[in-house]
Amino acid sequence: MSESEWRLRAPANLVSKRAVLLWTLRAVIFWVVVVGAQGVVLLVVDGAPTWLRATMVVAAVVGVVHALVMPRWRYRVHRWETTGDAVFTRSGWISQEWRLAPISRIQTVDTARGPLQQLLNLSTITVTTASAQGPLRVEGLDAEVAARVVDELAATTQATPGDAT
């Protein structure tokens, strides 16, 4: 893969190392539900179709590979950076998304923490702009880092005039 023409550097900061655990847990929960549902059908229903065994094995293998590969891959991709006039994020794994928003166009900055994130003391920063394209998100930040970043962004955003459309 040639990167010679891709002169855009990655954002400076990594997310928390615990984010790997977060993504692994999410993948494991998802695949346990998928495989488990098929398992229950196989055990409970008489004369369940035989191909269900095959799909269950396939789902289990895909699930294990996904839970092992995806979080580590994501950890290498997910990065973020804030400068004096812009927020810059990178996310994804197989497909990657780079987002850039000027500070002057930011409308709100919030943090959100799901149950898993609370367990791991992590936090997601959501930076919304006036667009219907959806907000910029930095997932799996250490909760204290997230709180600090939000304070900084809120301060810079307020100091910038304009209605952000």
Partner 1 sequence: MIVVRPLNELIGLLPPLAALVFFGDFDTWRVITSFGVVGLVIGYGLLSWLTTKYRITDSQVELHKGVVFRQRRSIPRDRIRTVDLTAKLGHRLFRLSAVRVGTGQQERTPGEGTVTLDAVTAVEAERLRQALLRKTEHVEDADEEGVTIASLDTRWYRYAPLTLSGFISIGIVIGFLMNLVNELDLRFSEVGFFRRALHWLSSAEPATVVPVVAGFAIVLSVLASLAGYLLQNHNYRLTRQSDGTVRVRRGLLTTRSVSIEEKRLRGAVLHEPLLLRAGGGGRVTAVTTGLNKVGGSSLLLPPAPRPEADRVTADVLAVADTPTASPLTQHPARAKTRRIIRAVVPTVVIAAVLLALAETADWPTWLWIVAAVLVPVSALVALDRYRALGHSLTNDYLVARSGSLDRRTVALRRDGIIGWKLTRTLFQRRARVFTLTAVTAAGSGGYSVLDIGDEQGLDLAEAAIPGLIGQFLIRG
The answer to whether residue 165 forms part of the interface with partner 1 (CB under 8 A) is yes
Q: Residue 142 Cβ, how far from partner 1 at the closest point, in Å?
A: 23
Token pair, residue 46, equals 């008489």
The answer to whether residue 9 forms part of the interface with partner 1 (CB under 8 A) is yes
The answer to whether residue 44 forms part of the interface with partner 1 (CB under 8 A) is no
Q: Which of 101, 122, 148, 165 is nearest to 26 (CA)?
A: 122
Q: Which of 125, 128, 156, 155 is nearest to 143 (CA)?
A: 125
Dist CA 111 CA 3 (whole Å)? 34
Q: Which of 161, 108, 157 is nearest to 131 (CA)?
A: 108
The answer to whether residue 132 forms part of the interface with partner 1 (CB under 8 A) is yes
Q: Which of 46, 133, 158, 159 binds partner 1 (CB under 8 A)?
A: 133
Only segment of 22-30, 36-44, 83-91, 117-125 that touches partner 1 (CB under 8 A): 83-91
Please give the single-letter amino acid code of residue 74.
R
Only segment of 25-33, 54-62, 68-76, 129-137 that touches partner 1 (CB under 8 A): 129-137
- Residues in contact with partner 1, counted by CB under 8 A, come to a total of 35
The answer to whether residue 74 forms part of the interface with partner 1 (CB under 8 A) is no
Output phi, psi for 132, to 5 deg: -80, 0
* 99-128 residues near partner 1, rule: CB under 8 A: 99-102, 105, 107, 128
Contacts of residue 6, defined as CB under 8 A and 6 or more positions apart, other chains included, come to none
